[in-house]
């Protein structure tokens, strides 16, 4: 019997459920962040946001992306890649526009 856990040797049923749950979580959390990110990017309104918060958030998202890579979980990788790009765009705008 294959060992349970992360990586390519996971049990099929568990891996399938893990992928669906992580996909749903990834879609919801990324979808929740996108409207705010697009508003900031479109209107260049960065005065009310915290640079420190977005830097810490970007670091956390980068680690979630790395975690997705390590466990070969495409929903975690894709959603965090999208969120990281948007977050870094906001950080650059905050640095540029204050």
Enclosing domain of residue 58? 12-97
Residue 3 lies in a domain: no
- Number of domains observed in the structure of the chain: 1
Q: Is 1 helix (H, G, I), strand (E, B) or coil?
A: coil
Q: What is the pLDDT at residue 2?
A: 43
Residue 4 lies in a domain: no
Answer whether 47's CB lies under 8 Å from 98's CB. yes
Residue 21 lies in a domain: yes
Average pLDDT, the chain: 87
Residue 7 lies in a domain: no
Q: What is the pLDDT at residue 61?
A: 96
Residue 73 lies in a domain: yes
Residue 55 lies in a domain: yes
CATH of residue 90's domain is 1.20.1280.290
The predicted model gives 74-95 an average pLDDT of: 94
Rounded to the nearest 10 degrees, the angle between the axes of helix 51-71 and helix 74-97 is 160
Q: What is the pLDDT of residues 7-45, one digit of tens each?
A: 555 556 777 888 889 899 999 999 998 998 899 889 988
Q: What is the pLDDT at residue 80?
A: 95
């Amino acid at each position: 019997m294959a060992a349970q856990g992360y990586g390519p040797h996971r049990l099929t049923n568990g891996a399938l459920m893990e992928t669906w749950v992580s996909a749903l979580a990834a879609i919801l959390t990324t979808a929740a962040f996108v409207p705010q990110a697009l508003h900031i990017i479109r209107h260049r309104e960065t005065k009310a946001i915290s640079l420190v918060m977005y830097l810490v958030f970007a670091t956390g998202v980068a680690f979630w992306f790395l975690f997705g890579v390590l466990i070969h979980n495409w929903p975690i990788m894709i959603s965090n890649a999208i969120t990281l790009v948007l977050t870094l765009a906001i950080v650059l705008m905050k640095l540029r526009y204050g």
